[in-house]
């Protein structure tokens, strides 16, 4: 599916405009209108950051996708929900920087249009289109099987697809509340199915889309499928995003030594199609829509945390981080330096390693039961105990040397228990 090719000779990153190209008087006269547009029409692109001349933007500290995003030539990146919103911007900029982007969409026609739009802007873009409904385990399994059958490498998996207040309460064919299925269980299943390929291509990464909505989530230990909630509103959305952060942290712990890093990210308040399509019978959907239009940032700025987590070389070996804008979502300037910072989750459960492990074990068991019931077989154990044992041995040896010893402790004395590792 993805084969290396010579980078196009015409490839270059866009450069910010020269301030000398505009008269100072003209700029001053247009400033009030441009400021109002940036504040009231966040989807237009840059937010207030667009008011700054290019030379000044380049002086800002922090991460800028035009200035700092590396060339991704030779890398294969899968992005779910890639035909619109944050997913489209993520796929678009990865393709701009020479990645081979596998765009996973639910609606093939919309996916084809997204591919055409990217190619019209970047003729060198290398894109593949695949179809899957992230709310269906059978569809996710077919996607993984088709991708693995292609023998394509995979260096980054970005689980971007998600739903906010999708409509009246419903359950999926696999017995999950719809929001839980699309936002959490589908992405987790896809990740576990593709982990062997990710490890084979290490160093590699998994980027999971979370949300500030995790603060409204609680762990429903007796209803991890969400079927007893009776609503697909904030309760379901908050729980699904809380589970995403917690599982990302624990899966990263289990994958130490494999070269696979797992990150959770959140976009802050961003103006995307998700708020437009959400069911406005839910109060939270109305509030999200209004907030995103009044002071949300653009889709492009909202995609920065995903792009940073997927590409920045400084993050290698630093999996387990939660990356995104400040907790209050104050991103009027859209500055990447605010959007690409490691944050602490607001929910205490997501900060507790023991709770994260407990949640991961419980939901993975639920997922396994659903997969078996659907005739898809057990979810594969892909946490690579051999790599974990090698990493533990290295850590033990290094610790012994720091203490003046001549060798490490016996591996069994410090290794995680079997149930804490691969099950």
Catalytic residues: 237
Instruction: Assess contact for 108 and 129: CB atoms under 8 A.
Output: yes
Cα–Cα distance measured from residue 132 to residue 333, given in angstroms and rounded to the nearest whole number = 35
The C-alpha atoms of residue 22 and residue 133 are separated, in whole angstroms, by: 48
Tally DSSP H helices, then E strands, for the chain: 17, 8
* Segment holding 108, helix H or strand E: helix 108-121
> Is the torsion defined by CA of 127, 338, 41, 266 positive or negative?
positive
User: Is residue 42 helix, strand or coil?
Assistant: helix
Name residue 209's beta-bridge partners: 265
| Residues 262, 249: Cα–Cα separation, whole Å | 7
Sequence-ordered list of residues with C-beta below 8 angstroms from that of 364, at least 6 positions apart, any chain = 188, 192, 379
Between CA 243 and CA 339 the distance in angstroms is 22
Of the candidates 111, 165, 147, which has an alpha carbon nearest to the alpha carbon of residue 2? 147
User: For the residues of 160-180, what is the DSSP string, one character each?
Assistant: ----SS-SS--B-TTS-BHHH
Distance CA 153, CA 178 (A): 31
The torsion angles phi and psi of 207, rounded to 5 degrees, stand at: -120, 120
In angstroms, the CA 340 to CA 307 distance is 9
143 vs 102: CA distance, rounded Å: 11
How many other CB atoms sit within 10 Å of the CB of residue 2? 22
């Amino acid at each position: 599916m993805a084969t290396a090719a010579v980078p196009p000779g015409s490839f270059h990153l866009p450069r910010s405009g020269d301030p000398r190209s505009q008269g100072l008087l003209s700029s001053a006269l247009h400033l009030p209108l441009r400021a109002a547009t940036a504040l009231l029409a966040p989807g237009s692109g840059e937010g207030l950051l667009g008011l700054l001349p290019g030379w000044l933007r380049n002086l800002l500290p922090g991460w800028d996708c035009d200035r700092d995003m590396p060339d991704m030539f030779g890398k294969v990146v899968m992005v779910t929900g890639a035909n619109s919103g944050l997913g489209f911007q993520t796929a678009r900029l990865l393709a701009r920087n020479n990645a081979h982007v596998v765009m996973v969409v639910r609606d093939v026609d919309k996916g084809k249009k997204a591919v055409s739009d990217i190619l019209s802007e970047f003729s060198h873009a290398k894109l593949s289109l695949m179809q899957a409904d992230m709310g269906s385990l059978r569809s996710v399994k077919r996607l993984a099987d088709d991708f693995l059958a292609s023998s394509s490498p995979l260096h980054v998996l970005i689980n971007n697809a998600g739903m906010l207040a999708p409509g009246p309460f419903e359950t999926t064919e696999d017995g999950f509340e719809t929001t839980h299925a699309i936002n959490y269980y589908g992405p987790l299943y896809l990740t576990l199915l593709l982990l062997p390929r990710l490890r084979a291509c290490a160093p590699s990464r998994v980027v999971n889309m979370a949300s500030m909505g995790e603060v409204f989530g609680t762990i429903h230990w007796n209803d991890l499928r969400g079927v007893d909630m009776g609503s697909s509103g904030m309760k379901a959305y908050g729980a699904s995003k809380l589970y995403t952060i917690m599982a990302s942290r624990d899966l990263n712990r289990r994958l130490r030594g494999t070269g696979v890093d797992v990150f959770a990210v959140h976009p802050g308040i961003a103006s995307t199609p998700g708020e437009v399509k959400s069911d406005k019978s839910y109060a939270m959907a109305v509030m999200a829509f209004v907030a995103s239009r009044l002071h949300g940032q653009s889709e492009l700025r909202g995609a920065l945390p995903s792009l940073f987590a997927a590409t920045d070389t400084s993050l290698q070996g630093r999996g387990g981080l939660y990356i995104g804008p400040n907790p209050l979502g104050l991103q009027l300037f859209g500055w990447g330096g605010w959007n690409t910072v490691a944050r602490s989750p607001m929910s205490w459960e997501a900060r507790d390693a023991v709770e994260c492990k407990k949640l991961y074990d419980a939901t993975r068991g639920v997922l396994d039961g659903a997969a078996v019931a659907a005739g898809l077989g057990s979810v594969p154990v892909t946490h690579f105990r051999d790599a974990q044992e090698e990493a533990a041995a290295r850590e033990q040896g290094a610790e012994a040397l720091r203490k003046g010893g001549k060798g490490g402790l016996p591996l069994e004395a410090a290794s995680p228990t079997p149930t804490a590792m691969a099950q």
